[in-house]
A and B are shown apart, each in its own frame.
Chain A
């Protein structure tokens, strides 16, 4: 048994992807089978194995995926960002409101989404990197700012982005075009760019190394503050991207919400093998993790449970992943 496991671990593909990622793919398949069997039993003959269910799960996976990719950079530096969900909503609310009230062109609104996210990232990153504030508290505070700002700006109204036959709906093609899940292509392309940045550029190298030992990197003559802040900017900008894909899939955004997505994105990231202690990150793991979260959400609904179960489960997943991470680190010490 042990031998077989070792043999499996030494397969080229497994080594390339990392054992943890292969296991996660197994988990996705198992979850899919489980939901297909359980949902008709638990929820009056619901059929889980439909294309529409998969597409719905994908819709959820896109924006969670972008959020998770962003927060991977922050977690790699050994920090955390609890503001990404509300930041995503805040940028969708403000730019959507500008489009409706002030007739901003759609392209400008999309750019605004990303910019607003990046501004939040810059502010948070500056506080953490230059003023040495703990990222935990800083991002908690910014989460409230994002929620409040979104509400104030829209006068606490729900904002709807163009939908149905309305003009200016081409942004929805990002998510799905003539039945093709284009969102998946975008997510994969951005994930590949993220992986290249993280593994093959100076920024990525510094971000990961400073996550592992900031003082050693600083004493090597590197201005760590710059790179630490950059991680937050990337994270914020990707939260802005997530906003585009959120409205592309669901069109309506409510003010004062979004914090539940923080945990789901962080869960996706940590499940994928990014260490909460910093210094270790896997983009592939994050993407797979995001789809696990998305599939779980779809499955829970299909089985007739309320979405609250999802919150509880995500919390447990974060705990489980952190325990696994901590244990593996303790062992290697």
Chain B
């Protein structure tokens, strides 16, 4: 067994309202590729951010090369030899490859930067990695894969001992992935400790030696990759324990009329030929991993982003939706995952936010009918049990759950028939979550129809009558709640990736 280079023990981290890391353990050996897996929000990124000094831990210890360490910022971590190769590359496109690699520590000749020395150094690095890139090329001319290799070269030039890859293959083609794997195997052979974060099950099987799984901020366990199956890992990721009772059968009558039909919706790379139906009184869950194209699908449907094609039928009639204005006029509403940016006007009052989508109806002659506006706002504050000292309160002073209720109120005032909830309980505490669930249940009973995008498996299973699963911009399946399990949803959510691997 090679020696352990990095040990994290009992790492604990809380954010207001969220216990992000609950006494997590993790270790990396020299010359191994250690996969870190878990659903979205399981705490993988947070753990790596604690390691590299972006976040400070509440408690726990990090032992690196036999010494206990705490890094105050990513720079300190980098100097000690722990670097992250990010999912989004942090490169400056207009600089050359060499200039990017040596940024902030350029070799100098007098007061001038010695570009020649820099290029020579960079060439050496690339040779070491067995890649061919001209250090004088401008970064933006390289493919994403090549840019990533530059990032790896940069990491090595920092005398790194532990390299963390955060979803490195997300933007790569199959051949590029192969090349990357060659490099990673080479680094492993040279004794680097490598942490590999990915959702792609087959990559994990291909490249890693061990797999550690996290769930809900907790460390679940570590497996030797060779000895386990994909199912073992999925089981650990989703867990056997289900905290809230899932729905066992659809509560939407089978003969309910179709209120929304979407056919062959296309919008950029993230929405490819998506078709589905939504019935009156139904909650249609949109499951998938982050970046599967669910939000993009709904935004295109709502007219928030341009679409390249697709037909939308509302109550059987074909409609044209080119802007959110058109969508709202057809009874659609969209509750964004990012409330603060897309849902509410923080600096304004509950009243002003509640009637934002329907102000026309609260205008008498030229003027806004304040009493009428206040009456309806008060009604929904009462009905949704929004906790606030008064309806004049600025929304920025409310908690996340109550802000969400203001957004819901806005669409209820509008009497929207089809409501798209995008991650309705993100950033909301447990009690308020329950209330939002109950509210959604009440809404569909009143005849509204809901599309619910959620990355929380328990939420999907608890709320949905039917589940649509997406992966990489495509719809990969549709399940009735009666047949849905965490496992088969997860399978569909990663299916496209598997199929791609299988093509070869």
Given contacts A201-B367, A205-B368, A212-B348, contact A222 B356 (CB under 8 A): yes
Q: How far is the CA of A215 from the CA of B366 in the complex (A)?
A: 25
Q: Cβ of A213 and Cβ of B360 under 8 Å apart?
A: no
Q: How far is the CA of A239 from the CA of B197 in the complex (A)?
A: 59
Q: Cβ of A223 and Cβ of B359 under 8 Å apart?
A: no
**Would you call B81 an interface residue if the criterion is a C-beta within 8 Å of the partner chain's C-beta atoms?**
no
Q: How far is the CA of A217 from the CA of B344 in the complex (A)?
A: 8
> How close is A301's CB to chain B, nearest CB, in angstroms?
40
Q: How far is the CA of A215 from the CA of B356 in the complex (A)?
A: 12
**Would you call B346 an interface residue if the criterion is a C-beta within 8 Å of the partner chain's C-beta atoms?**
yes
Q: How far is the CA of A279 from the CA of B348 in the complex (A)?
A: 8
Q: How far is the CA of A219 from the CA of B336 in the complex (A)?
A: 9
Given contacts A200-B368, A220-B328, A221-B329, contact A212 B346 (CB under 8 A): yes
**Per-position 1/0 for B317-332, Cβ under 8 A of A:** 0000001110111000
Q: Cβ of A202 and Cβ of B368 under 8 Å apart?
A: yes
Q: Which of B363-415 contact A (CB under 8 A)?
A: 363, 366-368, 370, 396, 410, 414
Q: How far is the CA of A219 from the CA of B367 in the complex (A)?
A: 23
Q: Cβ of A217 and Cβ of B356 under 8 Å apart?
A: yes
> How close is A218's CB to chain B, nearest CB, in angstroms?
6
> How close is A217's CB to chain B, nearest CB, in angstroms?
7
**Per-position 1/0 for A207-230, Cβ under 8 A of B:** 011001101111111110000000
Q: How far is the CA of A279 from the CA of B410 in the complex (A)?
A: 19
A205: which B residues are within 8 A, CB to CB?
352, 359, 368
Interface-centre pick from B302, B348, B360, B363 (highest chain A CB count, 10 A): B348
Q: Cβ of A221 and Cβ of B360 under 8 Å apart?
A: no
**Would you call A280 an interface residue if the criterion is a C-beta within 8 Å of the partner chain's C-beta atoms?**
yes
> How close is A227's CB to chain B, nearest CB, in angstroms?
11
Find B324's partner among A206, A208, A209, A220 (CB 8 Å cutoff). Answer: A220
A221: which B residues are within 8 A, CB to CB?
324-325, 327-329, 357, 414
Q: How far is the CA of A279 from the CA of B345 in the complex (A)?
A: 9
**Would you call B124 an interface residue if the criterion is a C-beta within 8 Å of the partner chain's C-beta atoms?**
no
Q: Which of A219-251 contact B (CB under 8 A)?
A: 219-223
B336: which A residues are within 8 A, CB to CB?
219
B329: which A residues are within 8 A, CB to CB?
221
B356: which A residues are within 8 A, CB to CB?
209, 216-217, 220, 222
Find B357's partner among A196, A202, A208, A220 (CB 8 Å cutoff). Answer: A220
Residue in A closest to B360 when the chains form the complex, CB atoms:
A202
> How close is B48's CB to chain A, nearest CB, in angstroms?
27
Q: How far is the CA of A196 from the CA of B396 in the complex (A)?
A: 25
B345: which A residues are within 8 A, CB to CB?
209, 212-213, 216-217, 279
Q: How far is the CA of A318 from the CA of B302 in the complex (A)?
A: 41
A216: which B residues are within 8 A, CB to CB?
341-345, 356
B367: which A residues are within 8 A, CB to CB?
196, 200-201
Q: Cβ of B304 and Cβ of A219 under 8 Å apart?
A: yes
Q: How far is the CA of A208 from the CA of B368 in the complex (A)?
A: 14
**Would you call B19 an interface residue if the criterion is a C-beta within 8 Å of the partner chain's C-beta atoms?**
no
> How close is A275's CB to chain B, nearest CB, in angstroms?
9
B359: which A residues are within 8 A, CB to CB?
202, 205-206, 222
B323: which A residues are within 8 A, CB to CB?
218, 223
Residue in A closest to B366 when the chains form the complex, CB atoms:
A201
B341: which A residues are within 8 A, CB to CB?
213, 215-216
Q: Cβ of B348 and Cβ of A215 under 8 Å apart?
A: no
Q: Cβ of A212 and Cβ of B347 under 8 Å apart?
A: yes
Q: How far is the CA of A208 from the CA of B347 in the complex (A)?
A: 10
Q: How far is the CA of A208 from the CA of B356 in the complex (A)?
A: 12
Q: How far is the CA of A218 from the CA of B396 in the complex (A)?
A: 19
A201: which B residues are within 8 A, CB to CB?
363, 366-368
Find B325's partner among A200, A209, A213, A223 (CB 8 Å cutoff). Answer: A223
**Would you call B421 an interface residue if the criterion is a C-beta within 8 Å of the partner chain's C-beta atoms?**
no
**Per-position 1/0 for A170-214, Cβ under 8 A of B:** 000000000000000000000000001000111001101100110
**Would you call B286 an interface residue if the criterion is a C-beta within 8 Å of the partner chain's C-beta atoms?**
no
A218: which B residues are within 8 A, CB to CB?
304, 323-324
Q: Which of B17-39 contact A (CB under 8 A)?
A: none
> How close is B292's CB to chain A, nearest CB, in angstroms?
21
Q: How far is the CA of A190 from the CA of B363 in the complex (A)?
A: 22
Q: How far is the CA of A110 from the CA of B212 in the complex (A)?
A: 78
Q: How far is the CA of A201 from the CA of B357 in the complex (A)?
A: 15
> How close is A322's CB to chain B, nearest CB, in angstroms?
17
Q: How far is the CA of A218 from the CA of B363 in the complex (A)?
A: 19
**Would you call B334 an interface residue if the criterion is a C-beta within 8 Å of the partner chain's C-beta atoms?**
yes
Q: How far is the CA of A215 from the CA of B344 in the complex (A)?
A: 9
A219: which B residues are within 8 A, CB to CB?
302, 304, 324, 334, 336, 342-343
Residue in B closest to A221 when the chains form the complex, CB atoms:
B328
**Per-position 1/0 for A259-271, Cβ under 8 A of B:** 0000000000000
Q: How far is the CA of A209 from the CA of B356 in the complex (A)?
A: 9
> How close is B322's CB to chain A, nearest CB, in angstroms?
11
> How close is A325's CB to chain B, nearest CB, in angstroms?
13
Q: How far is the CA of A222 from the CA of B327 in the complex (A)?
A: 10
Q: How far is the CA of A212 from the CA of B346 in the complex (A)?
A: 8
B327: which A residues are within 8 A, CB to CB?
221
> How close is A274's CB to chain B, nearest CB, in angstroms?
13
Given contacts A202-B360, A220-B328, A221-B328, contact A280 B352 (CB under 8 A): no
Interface-centre pick from A218, A221, A223 (highest chain B CB count, 10 A): A221
B363: which A residues are within 8 A, CB to CB?
201-202
A202: which B residues are within 8 A, CB to CB?
359-360, 363, 368
A206: which B residues are within 8 A, CB to CB?
359
B414: which A residues are within 8 A, CB to CB?
221
Query: A220-B324, A221-B325 known; 13 other A-B pairs, CB under 8 Å?
Result: A196-B367, A201-B366, A209-B352, A212-B346, A213-B344, A216-B344, A217-B345, A219-B304, A220-B328, A221-B329, A222-B356, A222-B357, A279-B345
What are some 17 contacts across the A-B interface (CB < 8 A)?
A: A200-B370, A201-B363, A205-B352, A209-B345, A209-B356, A216-B344, A218-B304, A219-B304, A219-B343, A221-B414, A222-B325, A222-B356, A222-B357, A222-B359, A223-B323, A279-B345, A280-B347
- Can you list the 9 inter-chain pairs with the closest CB atoms, starting with the nearest? A221-B328, A220-B357, A220-B356, A212-B347, A213-B345, A212-B345, A200-B367, A221-B325, A209-B345
A-side residues, CB < 8 A to B, are 196, 200-202, 205-206, 208-209, 212-213, 215-223, 279-280, 332
